Structure 1
Amino acid sequence: MNKRAWLITFLLLLSSIASPIFAQLQSPEDYLGYELGQRWTPHHNVLDYVSHVAEESNLVTIHSYGETYEHRELVYLIVTNPENHENIEEIRLNNLRMIGLQEGEITENQKAIVWLSYNVHGNETSSSEAALKTLYELVQPGNREAKNWLENTVVLMDPMINPDGRDRYVNWYKQVAGESPDASPIAREHDEPWPGGRSNHYLFDLNRDWAWQVQKETQQRFDIYKQWYPHIHVDYHEQGYNSPYYFAPAAEPFHKVITEWQREFQTTIGENHIQYFDEEGWLYFTKERFDLFYPSYGDTWPTFHGAIGMTYEQAGGGSAGLAIQKAEGDTLTLKDRLMHHYTTGMSTVEVSSQHADRLIEEFQRYFNEAEENPAGEYKTFVIKAGNQPDKIYDLLSDLDNNQIEYGTAGEDRNLDGYDYSTGETERVSISDDDIIVSAYQPQGNFVRVLFEPNPELSDSLTYDITAWDAHYRYGLEGYALENRINPEMDIRADDFRSPDYTGSDQPYAYILDWSSLDDARFLAEITQKGVKSRFSKIDFDIGGKTFKKGSLVITRNNNDELGDSFDEIIQNAARNHHRSLYGSPSGYVDSGSDFGSGNVEYIEEPKVALLIGEGTSSLNAGEIWHFFDQQLNYPATLINTNNLISTNLNSFNVLILPSGYYSGILTDHAIEKISSWTSSGGKLITFGNTNRILAGRDGFQLQQKVNQENEPTNEEMLRPYEDRTRNRASSRVPGSIFKTSVDNSHPLAYGYEEFYYSLKTDEDTYEYLDTGWNVGTVQSSEANMSGFAGYKAKQELENTLSFGVQPHGSGQVIYFIDNPLYRGFWENGKLLIANAVFFVGN
């Protein structure tokens, strides 16, 4: 064997020996068989590749944290050096202990923790492709810089937050595209059909769900987030395909809980990105459009938990496809998009590692200062013990989930405080059993975010809603105090769920008070199991108990066919939903109407149809769908809008029209069909912009309000062009809370008090109904309780309808101008929908 042959043999042998150490780790291109950016990597292949990296690299571990509604697996990765992996529990627990959310001794083993979240919007696809490249470059043996970063930094990566939406988009694109991408913006591959891939299975925007955790994906992710509480959190997005790249620092307004350090380090990170983008000549912008106020984004929610939370926005979105020609004439490709995201990802890890000690120090200070010296005007938030117990339970369960401490006041006292029900600071009475949430705790900043009566806005031009206070959200009375009250930690959420059964063992009728969505869930369950129920339209007394209008009366007489199973169904449902029942031995009442009276109305079994599809707002349609399917647990048949004309609506007695524009759907013929069905006894429920479409049409009494007083003045008509957006703010209601007067004698408002605090998200105004019932109304220009509303908008909203009922022949039309199901988090509005479905029109 000559010298050269011997050398080749030796190198091959060496390669075979070394391969278990290095050569088994493959790049995305080698593993997947194509260059990233040439095509999309579907969810299962993303999982395959990140699993491969975790298997072959001692710098990565992979962890499953749940699955989507469509049963796609959700995973996250821990990326750091081997020594940190050996001590990862110590590092994780140290981080929680130093901020007061975990007991135990803190050791010196503390590392910067960076969380990178990809593809929360399914059709903003480039970030999951970038995640694969970022993961590989962080761990591939030749990257010495990354190796150094991972010595003092732990990187958590969620490669795909919304795989249901992403696969919806990717699978559609593959069906409509040819062999090569067509970059013309008018090509069909750039015209994504309804509902698009942005949302999850139930058509929710997961990037508006961080704080509310309505959706399964968010709930599961938060369980993992609480185990880590990272110091940096990046949420990857895409915007219009003609836009330059966006990164921190963010735009005003910043919420007031955000510290100077958080502002400062956003700028530090942005400056690091700038070096790389300038070097490549890539366009970018900062400090515009994307503010840090609304608490439920992937940048704000982590920020309010001490992190440096940031949104990174790349041009693209569902219109971009694999390649699209921009307005300037150049072509934007998927490869371009992923490279930009990859660059900011690596830059973020780099700058975090460079400042690891300061990140840890300031993160700890954020929580410690909240516990010892919280900022903000109000130091204590009070929930009155006399509130409806289910509503207290729901709030306290939410506080438990967010690791927020609470207790009782411990003694009676009178203090000056802000009364949420009046919007005024006045003398208020605190009882010993009232519930106290103090700002003096590790989560004090988030307490402030959730409870502050009217969070201060530094700029009225915001990206989202401006009010969400927990008292209004849950329908609870209480106060905000400038005084500090230390709560006694002697209560639990379950203390407010102590159902009991009283009365006869073999009752003439079961009676259930009606005051919360849990009562509606009980009714939904027994109705599906064949039980016939009634509800009382007046208050009544029986057996020493008082029951308000809306209370359920479930008589044995109507349910003879159920035999012995009648009692079992009722009692099991009561246990399932923690309901207290009274078993009446008679149909005779002490005061009010006996159970055979016409005032005790039979509930016709609702057979619900929901119009959904092209022309509807996918978000509102999803809110309604999710409400029936996952919250009320009552069946609703989804009818595609394209099938409206051909569908026999007589199979249903409830038809719901979500908000939408319905172009080509709600034609004259379609509206006539719906009107005829309603007048024959149907119940039509309409939301949002659909009301505008029906307003003024034959058979529909709803009329938009015309306010002549707010015609523009000469001065306003001559305003400078550059001020146009800011001047429009005077007529805007971007999302604020209004005090709504309620006619709670009407079945639509059973279970409500004199006022309901409604979340208004637009400026649409409607006159009172001439005939019918104006059940929820804004009667004053001073009704704005929290959040921004322009002065013109306040004036225009005076004496307007929020929700009402119009008789239409033998049927009913229920108009929801305000959306009680907005993003699924406005808990106190949900009973209105149940009332509309079960009570109205019976």
Structure 2
Amino acid sequence: MRTLKFYRLRTLLLFYCIFFSIVLQAQELQSPSAYLGYPLGTQFTRHHEVVDYFRYVAATVPEQIRLQEYGETNERRPLLLAYLSSPDNMSNLEGIRTEHLKNTDTGGNGSKAIVWLSYNVHGNESVSTEASMQTLYELLTEKKAYLENTVVIMDPCINPDGRDRYVNWYNQFRNMPHTVDANSKEHHEGWLTGRPNHYMFDLNRDWAWLTQVESQQRIKVFNKWLPHVHVDFHEQGVDNPYYFAPAAEPFHEVITDFQRDFQVTIGKNHAKYFDANGWFYFTREVFDLLYPSYGDTFPTYNGAIGMTYEQGGSGHAGLGIKTSNGDTLTLKDRIDHHHTTGLSTVEVASENAQKLNDEFRKFYQRTNFKYNSYVMRGHPDKIDALTELLDQHEITYGTTDATTVKGLLYGTGKNGSLKTSGKNLVVSTDQPKGTLVKVLFEPNAKLSDSLTYDITAWSLPFAYGLEAVAATNGIPVTPYAKNKVPDLKENNDAYAYLSSWNSMKDAAFLGDLLQQGIRVRFAQKPFAMDGKRYDRGTLIVTKADNMNRTDFETVLKSVAKQHEKGLTATTTGFVEDGKDFGSGSVKMVPELKVAMLSGDPVSTLRFGEIWHFFEQQLHYPLTILRSTDIFGVELSEYDVLILPDGWGYGRFLNDDKRSAIKEWVKNGGKVIAMGGAIKGITGEKGFSLKPVKKKKDSTVNPRSYEASEREQIKNAITGAIFKTRVDTTHPLAFGYGDTYFSLKLGADAYSYLDTGTVVYLQSDDTRPVSGFAGNEAQKKIGNTLVFGVERHGKGTVVYMVDNPLFRGFWENGKLFFANALFMVN
């Protein structure tokens, strides 16, 4: 009997041993290579496979990781965050978050380091997403000790649409097996590269402006965490070694000594591992910390240690490529490097968790800003548009009663006073996001070095077309209330309904009316009616023009409500002053069929700005024509042809093609030529606009090789703001005042037109009001065109030397583009 019991007991123990062994084996976390079925670095992993691996890890070790799907892309791919920490920390994740955020206000007692790792903001810089999986795996296995006092937030792919575009392209065109010969097709993407997102926007330049859905959804979560450390993983040219912090000058003046020093601390830790492996790297070069909309600077201005890491490779490297010095760079090499810096970053943060918390708290206690308040006045639509951006950033604001505010006037760059009345906006630095406010609103960013990686001016009052003053004192404010427009009431006696033309909201309203088949007129001259003055561009919607629509007022009311547009009803077309509604000066807005050039020689980014403008802002149909097809289609089917900025238009538009475009314009077409496209349609057999050539200096002295770069910057304009003059009587300028602040991105210059010079620089306008412009470039741009219109036969050419749609954030330029479409005939 005892033998039987012993046997049963032994059997039972054996069963439990086998059972728990199976359970433990089942719970053992698989590496990315084991899970995916191929060694990491031998193939590119598609986005859905990456998501699958992260979900598998979360299901396997749920006590250490939590996933959050924070949104989706334009092409419906999921945007994913993974939160990693120790089991104890994960059980109190919300408590850690709330205690951490107290440091931005009343002062918390946080002791955990918050590290956010962002991968693959540029889609064809594809290695970092691969590295994210290996980093995730090792943080939960070999390096789990780092997580005892650290919360790691990982975004495996900020730009899934761009990355899958690249990966799918590479899988289609790669050699089998891959070749390291740099001349092979697999190392040369086509025009529509994987770098940008769906709309061809560079998401690494959209952190502050939030024009894209990926950025808009990400900022909601970012503001809930405000990490201590943020890393943005990138790739650069094939022949470049690895780059990591510390960054290059210029550093923005708000960046603290601790933020600078901690970059050095992290960089030295990276160097320790790279030295041990014999890997090459560089620091303190190229990548500065100034422009506020990067994945390193924007977190920095929110209190983080923000850093860019750059691995050599990018879209040219594929699975492997031979570099110019004869070495072979493989995808596995690239993974190893990003994986190493990712782990090293978490290691340093873990070792300095308390210090990070202490310094983060100090960052949010800063009050030593030169200007305490930024006060703005302007059209309510423009102010409302700015408050929408501020709301997304959780920046507080208010309004003030009618008063006079003294300080630095943006329009003149000198001290003066601004009278506030009606709608005005006050944004103070006396708030948790005060440092970010200073950076986004400052009249002119201080440059410690003129050699920068991006634009040097971006001030929001200029971008939104608002008069502004920067005041050193605090301004008493009351809550800001956005415009509330009453619903349109049906008026049986109405002859017409009138609507203003001042903002992008007005343009979107018009675009939707035209899409609904509502006919609209606009006034070319000012007029008075019922005791009220109406400006040029005023929209006039008459019942007579829409007699065939039994639902006319229903549709008009619906569209007005959608756009929060106020309409004024009038019972007559007889004006008190100006031109009556039947006059030839009251034009019909045409129903336009618009086409845009795509493919070489067009810049993908400039193409994307226009594409996004039409589909997401104006809501007006657009036909995209391939450059290889444009002269094989009937251009006569289109009313407008947009030529976006780009390079190589001179080669693309030969004499015969220029002549074909001229003939189409002569017969009634309209060309909108932007930036570099202007070079392609001017000159011999082109239109009459003439470039300004720089005068040669007869006293040129030899200069050293080292000094040549700084000599070249004298001829450059690195994204600076200039005060331009405006002919307000021209339809291209309807809705604008007599000055416009233009963001100039280069020194290309063209002479005035004989007629049709609408926005221009005079000889005394060549000094930027904000940003850097070389002294030689300033000499060149005096008395030159910014925007203009040339008549040719029955048609027109609209020249846009500067870009009014730049990165989708230069809000005050957008109405110029709408005018070019609808008002210029």
Q: What's the TM-score, normalizing by structure 2?
A: 0.96
1:72 to 77, 80, 84: 77
For residue 72 of structure 1, report the CA deviation from its aligned partner: 0.6
Change (3 A) 1:503 1:780: farther
Is 1:487–2:476 an aligned residue pair? Answer: yes
Task: Give secondary structure in 2 for the equivalent of 1:738.
Answer: strand
Residue aligning to 2:799: 815
Distance in 2, matches of 1:636 and 1:271, equals: 52
Q: 2:374 aligns with which of 371, 377, 381?
A: 381
The answer on whether the counterparts of 1:781 and 1:795 sit within 8 Å (CA) in structure 2 is: no
Residue of structure 1 aligned with 2:48, choices 44, 51, 58: 44
Q: Which residue of 2 aligns with 1:618?
A: 604
TM-superposed CA distance for 1:774, in Å, is: 3.8
For each residue in 1:223-252, what CA deviation from the matched residue of structure 2 results, as whole angstroms up to 9, or x when unmatched? 110111111000000000100100000000
When residues 12 and 265 of structure 1 are mapped into structure 2, their CA distance, relative to the original with a 3 A threshold, is farther
Alpha carbons of structure 1 residues 47 and 357: separation in structure 2 relative to 1, 3 Å: same
User: Is 2:404–2:417's contact at 8 Å kept on the other side of the alignment?
Assistant: no
Decide which of 17, 21, 24 is 2:20's aligned counterpart: 17
User: Which shows bigger deviation, 357-366 or 23-32?
Assistant: 23-32
TM-superposed deviation, 1:108: 4.2
2:778 to 776, 794, 803: 794
Structure 1 position 95 matched with structure 2 position 100 = yes
Q: Secondary structure at the match of 1:623?
A: helix
**1:32 equivalent among 26, 32, 36:** 36
Are 1:365 and 2:362 counterparts? yes
CA contact (8 A) 2:252 2:290 kept: yes
**What is the Cα deviation at residue 178 of structure 1?**
2.1
Distance 1:684 1:414, change over 3 A: closer
Residue by residue over 1:425-484, the C-alpha shift from the partner in whole angstroms, topping out at 9 and shown as x without a partner, is 2344456974322212111111110111111000000000000011100000010122x2
1:640 shift after superposition: 1.0
2:732 is aligned, of 748, 753, 762, to: 748
Change (3 A) 1:11 1:686: farther
Q: What is the DSSP-based 3-state SS (H/G/I as helix, E as strand, rest coil) of the residue aligned with 1:378?
A: coil
Do the aligned residues in 1 keep the contact of 2:418 with 2:468 (CA within 8 Å)? no
Give, as a single letter, the amino acid of the residue that structure 1 aligns with 2:321. Answer: I
> Superposed, which structure 2 residues align to 1:401-440 within 5 Å?
401-410=392-401, 412-413=403-404, 415=406, 417-429=407-419, 434-440=424-430
Which amino acid in structure 2 is aligned with residue 440 of structure 1?
D
Separation in structure 1 between the aligned mates of residue 602 and residue 664 of structure 2, nearest angstrom: 20
Contact 1:252–1:459 (Cα < 8 Å) also in 2: yes
Q: Within 5 Å, which residues of 2 pair with 1:55-204? A: 55-57=59-61, 58-100=63-105, 108=109, 110-140=111-141, 143=142, 146-204=143-201
Asked whether the 8 Å contact 1:406–1:435 carries over to 2, the reply is yes
The residue type equivalent to 1:787 in the other structure is: G
Determine which of 259, 264, 270 is the counterpart of 2:261: 264
Question: Is contact 1:42–1:170 with CA below 8 Å preserved after alignment?
Answer: yes
Compute the TM-score of the two structures, normalised by the length of structure 1: 0.94
| Alignment equivalent of 1:669, drawn from 631, 644, 656 | 656
CA distance in 2, matches of 1:630, 1:570: 21
Amino acid at match of 2:451: L
Measure how far apart 1:283 and its partner are: 0.2
Larger mean Cα displacement after TM superposition, 583-592 or 458-467: 583-592
Q: 1:336 to 1:16 in 2, by over 3 A?
A: farther
Native 8 Å contact 1:123 1:196 kept in 2: yes
Shift of 1:16: 4.4
The change in CA–CA distance for 1:432 and 1:537 in structure 2 (over 3 A counts) is: closer
Deviation of 1:506 (Å): 4.0
- Contact 2:303-2:360 at 8 Å conserved across structures: yes
Question: In 2, are the aligned partners of 1:738 and 1:778 still within 8 Å (CA)?
Answer: no
1:825 paired to 2:809: yes
2:240 equivalent to 1:243: yes
Alignment match, 2:527? 540
Whether the 8 Å contact between 1:803 and 1:816 is mirrored in structure 2 is: yes
Identity %: 48
Aligned to 1:629: 615
Equivalent-residue separation in structure 2 for 1:815 and 1:403 (angstroms): 38
Corresponding residue number in structure 2 for 1:465 = 455
Q: Go from structure 1 to structure 2 and tell me whether the alpha carbon gap of 1:54 and 1:398 turns closer, same or farther (over 3 Å shift).
A: same
8 Å CA contact retained: 2:405, 2:469: no
Work out which of the residue numbers 332, 350, 354 in structure 1 matches 2:351.
354
Amino acid at match of 2:386: L
1:323-369: CA deviations, max 9, x gaps? 00011111000000010000000000000000000001111110122
Structure 1 residues 399-408 or 262-271, which shifts more? 399-408
Please give the residue correspondences for 1:292-371 in structure 2 after superposition, counting only pairs within 5 Å.
Answer: 292-369=289-366
Uncovered stretches (5+) of structure 1, i.e. residues with no partner: 1-6
Q: Return the alpha-carbon distance in structure 1 between the equivalents of residues 820 and 761 of structure 2.
A: 17
Distance in 1, matches of 2:121 and 2:202, equals: 8
CA-to-partner distance for each residue in 1:153-173, whole Å, 9 max, x for gaps?
000000011111111111111
Aligned partners of 1:665 and 1:9: how far apart in 2? Answer: 82
CA distance in 1, matches of 2:21, 2:478: 60
Deviations 1:736-765 (A, max 9, x none): 101110001000000000001000011101
Mapped contact 2:118–2:231 kept (Cα < 8 A): yes
Report the residue type matching 2:403 in the other structure: D
Amino acid across the alignment from 1:287: R
Q: CA RMSD in A?
A: 2.0
SS in 1 for 2:152: strand
2:732 and 2:758 in contact (8 A); partners too = no
Q: Counterpart of 2:590?
A: 604
Rounded Cα–Cα distance in structure 2 between residues aligned with 1:460 and 1:108: 41
Query: What is the CA distance between 1:593 and its match in structure 2?
Result: 0.8
Instruction: Mark the CA change 1:714 to 1:107 in structure 2 (over 3 Å): closer, same or farther.
Output: closer
AA at the equivalent of 1:406: Y
Deviation of 1:276 after TM superposition, in Å, equals 0.3
1:568 to 542, 554, 563: 554
Aligned partner of 1:30: which letter?
Answer: A
Gap change, CA 1:154 and 1:578, over 3 Å in 2: same
Contact 1:778 1:802 in 2 (8 A): no
Q: Quick one: which amino acid aligns to residue 574 of structure 1?
A: A
Residue number among 658, 681, 697 corresponding to 2:684 in the alignment: 697
Letter of the structure 2 residue corresponding to residue 233 of structure 1:
H
SS of residue matched to 1:785: coil
* Distance (Å, rounded) in 2 between the aligned partners of 1:325 and 1:11: 57
Matched, 1:514 2:501: yes
1:623–1:823 Cα contact (<8 Å) kept: yes
* Aligned equivalent of 2:383: 392
Contact 2:726-2:733 at 8 Å conserved across structures: yes
Task: Please list every run of 5 or more consecutive structure 2 residues that lacks an aligned counterpart in the other structure.
Answer: 1-9
Shift, 1:9, TM fit: 13
- Which residue of structure 2 aligns with residue 3 of structure 1? none
CA contact (8 A) 1:390 1:497 kept: no
Give the letter for the 1:763 counterpart: A
- Note the C-alpha offset of 1:503: 9.4
Deviation string 1:589-611 (CA, Å, 9 cap, x unpaired) is 11111100011011111111011
Q: Distance in 1 between matches of 2:405 and 2:589?
A: 46
**1:408·1:432 contact (CA, 8 Å) conserved in 2?**
no
Structure 2 distance, partners of 1:527, 1:428, is: 39
Moved more, 723-732 or 336-345: 723-732
2:502 alignment partner AA: S
Q: How does 1:549-588 map to 2 (within 5 A)?
A: 549-563=536-550, 565-588=551-574
Q: Which segment is superposed worse, 275-284 or 187-196?
A: 187-196
Counterpart CA distance in 1 for 2:65 and 2:442 is 41
- CA distance in 1 between counterparts of 2:469 and 2:109 reads 42
Greater alpha carbon shift after TM alignment, 696-705 vs 798-807: 696-705
Structure 1 residue 691, shift from structure 2 partner? 0.7
Cα 1:497–1:753, aligned 2, differ >3 Å: closer, same or farther? farther
